[in-house]
Amino acid sequence: MTNEHTNRAADLRQWDNAHVWHPFAPMSAYREEGAPIIERAEGFYLFDVAGRRYLDGISSLWCNVHGHRVPEIDAAVREQLDRVAHTTLLGLGSVPSIELAKRLVEITPPGLTKVFYSDSGATAVEAALKMAYQFHRQKPCGPEERNLYATVRGAYHGDTIGSVSVGSIELFHRVYGKLLFETVSVPSPSGFRFPDGMTESDHHAHCMAELERVIVGHADRLAAFVIEPLVQGAAGILVHPPGYLRRVRELTAAHGIPLIADEVAVGFGRTGTMFACEQEQVEPDLLCLGKGLTGGYLPVAATLATDEIFDAFLGEPVDGRTFFHGHTYTGNPLGCAAAIASLDLFDRHQVLANVNENAELLKRRLETLAGHPHVGDIRQKGVMAGIELVRDRETEEPYDPRLRMGHQVTLAARKRGVILRPLGDVVVLMPAPAMPTELIEALCDVAFESIDEVT
């Protein structure tokens, strides 16, 4: 690097440490470690201000789909810039938001006919929670005062107050306990350590029984059941057993409880199908989308609803049945244009076929870790994978959290030119759905070498 570049990098580091409060970051440690400052990208690689290249092994926090600087998406955004960058949907329409809504209705599970835009996964969930609550107060067979939500333990649905209320990751959520509304939870049917000496099959049977007990027991109070279909991402890539999602749908439908499917993390191909619900032929009442919606380009999210939900909000303005909820950048035209271009690329580049090929490759590579003395569990669905590190594989003894072993693996990977981000001591591999096979191999090579080095 030239002296000019060196000085600029030093200035940026100083300003970053002085002024930027990073999300989910223990800032004292962050400042000491000197994380890369990304300046540009190309394909599936990121480049920092020092010119170092990194393979993007986490899809820029699980949202990138086709890589960076994709010509077709870039062109769509530039073309939209020549028209209008932003205009409100409060009382007005916009061409890209209308066209994208039609596309989403065509590709999502049947019955979802209305699209409400927001700007992140958390806000998509927040809108769904409020829709469900207001629906019960205004539905034709109502009104009913239902103010309880059912969730799966270990859930993560975002960081706004409503989405935190239906989440249950202790580290993230415990400090806000007194701010949250009431929920009831069912045990997660996936995991590594099972309670009270249960076998895996015992635990699954217990979870099915608890699911029915909770739904039936609270049926008259439940505003909705909220679930991450197939995979609980932030809980450590917990993969649900086949049939669990289907059973949730059967029970909620039988008792008139709206099902909110949070596909923010699992949607747009990551589990092997465009949407995870497809794999169990589940049609939710509300579907939350974000992250990969725009190909990972711009912050646009969507909450899709059925006609039954939507119709409960119809009436004369004086009736006060309106959904009084929205965001300044709702349905941003640039983001919607990027999303339309991204959806076009799924067919043009056969992205779902690529996901399934890469999922098989990941499975084969991960099998080589099965006997590793410090790998307690390996969980995978599609191109979502979690490798849980333990001090002792035989006893399943975890590492002391103060060691931050998962984080140490990401630092070792960074030295090798790969960006990873752990969930505690679960090392997460989250390649973009369109990543080519040879880069999946490179990602696995570095991740496994880094685990060996640290453990």
Query: By the 8 A CB rule, do 63 and 300 touch?
Result: no
Would you state the pLDDT for residue 196?
77
**Low-confidence spans in the chain with pLDDT less than 70:** 1
Would you state the pLDDT for residue 1?
61
CATH 3.90.1150.10 fits 36-66+350-454, yes or no: yes
Q: 0.95 cut: is pTM over it? A: yes
Cα Rg, the chain, nearest whole Å: 22
Would you state the pLDDT for residue 120?
97
Domains 36-66+350-454 and 74-348 fall in the same CATH topology: no
Which strands sit side by side in the sheet containing 183-186, from one edge to the other? Answer: 112-118, 301-306, 286-289, 259-262, 222-227, 148-152, 183-186
Question: What residue spans define the domains of the chain?
Answer: 36-66+350-454, 74-348
- For 74-348, CATH gives 3.40.640.10
Query: By the 8 A CB rule, do 246 and 172 touch?
Result: no
Please report, as a single letter, which amino acid is at residue 396. E
